[in-house]
A and B are shown apart, each in its own frame.
Chain A
């Protein structure tokens, strides 16, 4: 779904690289892969550098209108692909890098990654020892490279999603997308709930929708009325074991992160929209 929306935003003059991940399987092998665009399967850690290479080749050939997109999982981004990604970002390569984040190594059987949130069950963080560290903040890492554009998106907000990809298409330089992608088996949710869970992540401010331009200018795109994180957590089997204290801990963490983000928005824009105030007080 996310891929479809991305390509809707980008059009069909696109080439992509996909490292080892679930999408390797979804797409399948040449010459029968599922996407109509030219596509290269790469080694697990090399999505960003391979995309940079294709970009360089296209530039040499003068095909500058073709957009190059790397499409990688959270494992391939937050963990093993991070050095290649950081290098590409530092060089401000003219590519779009998308991480669809299902918060674990799903393809190989739900092992934790540095994108797995605090408290979550995975096969390597069983209920007895659930994930003890907070999720790595990949957006801040990318912003720290002062790249022209970084944004979050989810399938539950398709208009916002497509708008951001259209916008990114016309920006030159490194563009980064962090997409929250619910995974029914990995999150222990029924498959028909994927969109609802993604929406709830946004509504509870666990996954805010925002953009960072030039690494500094922060814009929040959606101001949720605010619901307790419990509503989001309890939809998913991977959080069922959490105690009230743990949930309260997560709530405080989320509230704190949101306040920071709102503050950055205010710093950027000089003021807050009307609907902002309610989001700071209500849960």
Chain B
């Protein structure tokens, strides 16, 4: 700096001239330190364990990232890549994803399902865009439950003509005629079908495959057929007097058709599964007094824990270790003869086998009895070549392919009574396999899943402990009075974002900038809001890989030859 205020300009520097202060001609970028390297960092998104645990493989941290940035539409579109009905799963999914969530090993898992519901509802009326190109290929879908909906959505998205055959007068399967209103409002199901219609999916209602048209006919008429007809056959108990019982599915079907008169005041509900819980809780809301009879104890109940807890909160009476063995009708009442059970040795399912206690027979009097002890798949109308020797439908879990060329299947029809999310996942995977088949790909195999970032790669130092954001719900006293009021109110935007901010974003770079801050060699460049390694300067120290809070950067050996 000279006295007259003219600054020394390094660009005009001539040899032999010395400025009056030590200004540099260059900077640290002069020294390309990249040649010192023996290891190199590689920046690459991986899979979060929640993604792997969700049967649809929804890219959870990826859409959370968009939600947090305020891009709600973008979040919705990412979600729809793997799950076409997030408004439904966001309400009724048993959320296996939350069991996989890394944060569960730190404080509490992310409330993934509630965030999904919020984003799903945001995109609900925006989705349903028809494909840009029609392929002219035609696919028939049997059944309009979640499996059929999912297959139809992804096939139609790829430009194929999709015709859905449904024996009921409206679509949705269990979503419409099984799950009660207070858990899944039928308005939501309606809007899901409006979206499918906007896409151009065609529906043939009141058409039963096997009766009005055969599978063989469909196979001839269409380029491919997807079976998603569910598991809607009710098991029988095989006890005398059973003909006086209603089945769980029948009862819920009636209620969902608007028949809101309970079959009696004091009603026995036999079974310990989800259907039994829905029956009992629906009965309560319709003014009856349900009593659940289950032959094992609370611990062994196959129903979701969450559902059992809600039933108990509702104040529903449970009689455990109670097994009906006979029934008779007397003066318009049903007398159930029951025996007390005790738990014996474990059976093949790992649960203790209930054995009757000698001399414990007793009679219980009810106005009506609903039995919900399990469902199975109707295979009577399927081609024999698609069944195994025990009569079960054979289909590959990853592609839905059956032994019959062009015939695919998914959901409860393949798995037996399972979950909505499994049906959705299988529907999508089958759609992808069918698409490959229609494009003439022989021996299609889905791509393997990327590597998962396990908890040990998460730098928990960056995440202060924080409890889950509470989910607003109706108070118990209020919810048990009204069958039509949705009991879980769900997150609003603020809560959804706040909860999403708890997410570690395992394996997904959310532009946190740690690698940029900590690289000692200016070797991380920031391009389009993402880090990029500049290998001219990176000397492979590995700090970025250590300090990435979410396991995105891995160090690999530099290959010289």
The interface of chain A, by Cβ under 8 A from chain B, is 1, 15, 28, 30-36, 38-41, 61, 63, 155, 158, 190-196, 199, 203
Please indicate which of the listed interface residues B26, B520, B542 has the most CB atoms of chain A within 10 Å of its own CB.
B520
User: Taking the nearest CB of chain A, how far is it from the CB of B267, in angstroms?
Assistant: 53
B462 nearest CB neighbor, chain A only: A199
Q: In the complex the two chains form, what is the Cα distance from A34 to B25 in whole Å?
A: 9
A190 near B542 with CB under 8 A, answer: yes
> Could you say which of B24, B517, B518, B545 contacts A30, with CB atoms under 8 Å apart?
B24
> Could you say which of B1, B22, B541 contacts A61, with CB atoms under 8 Å apart?
B1
A1 near B520 with CB under 8 A, answer: yes
B25 near A31 with CB under 8 A, answer: yes
> Could you say which of B27, B30, B546 contacts A196, with CB atoms under 8 Å apart?
B546
Interface residues of B in 3-60 (CB under 8 A from A): 3, 13, 21-28, 30-31
B461 near A38 with CB under 8 A, answer: no
B24 near A191 with CB under 8 A, answer: no
Residues in B with CB closer than 8 Å to A1 are 518, 520
Given contacts A34-B28, A34-B31, A190-B542, contact A195 B23 (CB under 8 A): no
Decide yes or no whether B412 CB sits under 8 A from chain A. Answer: no
B22 near A191 with CB under 8 A, answer: no
Binary flags per residue of B479-507, CB closer than 8 Å to A gives 1, else 0: 00000000000000000000000000000
Residues in A with CB closer than 8 Å to B1 are 61, 63
User: Taking the nearest CB of chain A, how far is it from the CB of B537, in angstroms?
Assistant: 12
Q: In the complex the two chains form, what is the Cα distance from A41 to B30 in whole Å?
A: 20
A17 nearest CB neighbor, chain B only: B22
Decide yes or no whether B192 CB sits under 8 A from chain A. Answer: no
Residues in B with CB closer than 8 Å to A15 are 21
Binary flags per residue of B313-355, CB closer than 8 Å to A gives 1, else 0: 0000000000000000000000000000000000000000000
Residues in A with CB closer than 8 Å to B78 are none
What are 13 A-B pairs with beta-carbon distances under 8 A? A1-B520, A31-B24, A32-B24, A34-B24, A34-B28, A36-B27, A38-B21, A38-B22, A38-B24, A40-B22, A192-B545, A192-B555, A203-B461
B517 near A158 with CB under 8 A, answer: yes
Residues in A with CB closer than 8 Å to B28 are 34-35
B542 nearest CB neighbor, chain A only: A192
12 other contacts beyond A31-B24, A158-B517, A203-B461, with CB at 8 A cut-off? A30-B24, A32-B26, A33-B24, A35-B27, A38-B24, A41-B22, A63-B1, A191-B542, A192-B543, A192-B545, A192-B546, A196-B546
A34 near B542 with CB under 8 A, answer: no
Binary flags per residue of B403-419, CB closer than 8 Å to A gives 1, else 0: 00000000000000000
Residues in B with CB closer than 8 Å to A39 are 22, 24
User: Taking the nearest CB of chain A, how far is it from the CB of B459, in angstroms?
Assistant: 9
Q: In the complex the two chains form, what is the Cα distance from A59 to B270 in whole Å?
A: 92
Residues in B with CB closer than 8 Å to A155 are 518
Q: In the complex the two chains form, what is the Cα distance from A192 to B547 in whole Å?
A: 9
Residues in A with CB closer than 8 Å to B555 are 192
User: Taking the nearest CB of chain B, how far is it from the CB of A217, in angstroms?
Assistant: 27
Binary flags per residue of B269-299, CB closer than 8 Å to A gives 1, else 0: 0000000000000000000000000000000
Interface residues of B in 520-561 (CB under 8 A from A): 520, 541-543, 545-547, 555
Given contacts A158-B517, A192-B541, A195-B518, contact A30 B22 (CB under 8 A): yes
Q: In the complex the two chains form, what is the Cα distance from A194 to B21 in whole Å?
A: 34
B30 near A32 with CB under 8 A, answer: yes
Given contacts A38-B21, A38-B23, contact A194 B543 (CB under 8 A): yes
Q: In the complex the two chains form, what is the Cα distance from A39 to B24 in whole Å?
A: 8
Residues in B with CB closer than 8 Å to A195 are 518, 543, 546-547
Nearest first, the 6 A-B pairs at minimum CB distance are A192-B542, A34-B28, A191-B541, A31-B25, A192-B546, A38-B21
User: Taking the nearest CB of chain B, how far is it from the CB of A51, in angstroms?
Assistant: 13
Residues in B with CB closer than 8 Å to A33 are 22, 24, 26
User: Taking the nearest CB of chain A, how far is it from the CB of B41, in angstroms?
Assistant: 10
User: Taking the nearest CB of chain A, how far is it from the CB of B375, in angstroms?
Assistant: 51
User: Taking the nearest CB of chain B, how far is it from the CB of A9, in angstroms?
Assistant: 13
B27 near A34 with CB under 8 A, answer: yes
Residues in B with CB closer than 8 Å to A28 are 31
A58 nearest CB neighbor, chain B only: B1
Q: In the complex the two chains form, what is the Cα distance from A120 to B541 in whole Å?
A: 24
User: Taking the nearest CB of chain A, how far is it from the CB of B445, in angstroms?
Assistant: 38
Residues in A with CB closer than 8 Å to B520 are 1
Given contacts A1-B518, A155-B518, A199-B461, contact A32 B25 (CB under 8 A): yes
Residues in A with CB closer than 8 Å to B21 are 15, 38
Q: In the complex the two chains form, what is the Cα distance from A158 to B518 in whole Å?
A: 9
User: Taking the nearest CB of chain B, how far is it from the CB of A2, in angstroms?
Assistant: 9
B546 near A36 with CB under 8 A, answer: no
Given contacts A155-B518, A195-B518, contact A35 B24 (CB under 8 A): yes
Q: In the complex the two chains form, what is the Cα distance from A32 to B26 in whole Å?
A: 5
Residues in B with CB closer than 8 Å to A41 are 22
Residues in A with CB closer than 8 Å to B31 are 28, 34
Residues in B with CB closer than 8 Å to A36 are 24, 27
Residues in A with CB closer than 8 Å to B25 are 31-32
A191 near B543 with CB under 8 A, answer: yes
B459 nearest CB neighbor, chain A only: A196
User: Taking the nearest CB of chain A, how far is it from the CB of B318, in angstroms?
Assistant: 42
Q: In the complex the two chains form, what is the Cα distance from A155 to B518 in whole Å?
A: 8
Q: In the complex the two chains form, what is the Cα distance from A41 to B24 in whole Å?
A: 13
B517 nearest CB neighbor, chain A only: A158
A193 near B546 with CB under 8 A, answer: yes
User: Taking the nearest CB of chain B, how far is it from the CB of A28, in angstroms?
Assistant: 8
Residues in B with CB closer than 8 Å to A61 are 1, 3
Residues in B with CB closer than 8 Å to A40 are 22
Residues in B with CB closer than 8 Å to A196 are 546-547
User: Taking the nearest CB of chain A, how far is it from the CB of B495, in angstroms?
Assistant: 25
Q: In the complex the two chains form, what is the Cα distance from A199 to B518 in whole Å?
A: 12
Please indicate which of the listed interface residues A28, A40, A190, A195 has the most CB atoms of chain B within 10 Å of its own CB.
A195
Q: In the complex the two chains form, what is the Cα distance from A38 to B10 in whole Å?
A: 12
B25 nearest CB neighbor, chain A only: A31
Q: In the complex the two chains form, what is the Cα distance from A232 to B357 in whole Å?
A: 62
Residues in B with CB closer than 8 Å to A192 are 541-543, 545-546, 555
A8 nearest CB neighbor, chain B only: B517
B5 nearest CB neighbor, chain A only: A61
User: Taking the nearest CB of chain B, how far is it from the CB of A53, in angstroms?
Assistant: 13
User: Taking the nearest CB of chain A, how far is it from the CB of B544, in angstroms?
Assistant: 8
User: Taking the nearest CB of chain B, how far is it from the CB of A150, in angstroms?
Assistant: 24
User: Taking the nearest CB of chain A, how far is it from the CB of B455, in angstroms?
Assistant: 17
Q: In the complex the two chains form, what is the Cα distance from A41 to B3 in whole Å?
A: 22
User: Taking the nearest CB of chain A, how far is it from the CB of B106, in angstroms?
Assistant: 13
Residues in A with CB closer than 8 Å to B545 are 192
User: Taking the nearest CB of chain A, how far is it from the CB of B545, in angstroms?
Assistant: 6
Residues in B with CB closer than 8 Å to A194 are 543
Q: In the complex the two chains form, what is the Cα distance from A41 to B13 in whole Å?
A: 21
A28 nearest CB neighbor, chain B only: B31
Residues in A with CB closer than 8 Å to B542 are 190-192
B26 nearest CB neighbor, chain A only: A32
User: Taking the nearest CB of chain A, how far is it from the CB of B312, in angstroms?
Assistant: 36
Binary flags per residue of B433-459, CB closer than 8 Å to A gives 1, else 0: 000000000000000000000000000
Binary flags per residue of B378-404, CB closer than 8 Å to A gives 1, else 0: 000000000000000000000000000
Residues in A with CB closer than 8 Å to B30 are 32, 34
User: Taking the nearest CB of chain B, how far is it from the CB of A7, in angstroms?
Assistant: 11
Binary flags per residue of B159-202, CB closer than 8 Å to A gives 1, else 0: 00000000000000000000000000000000000000000000
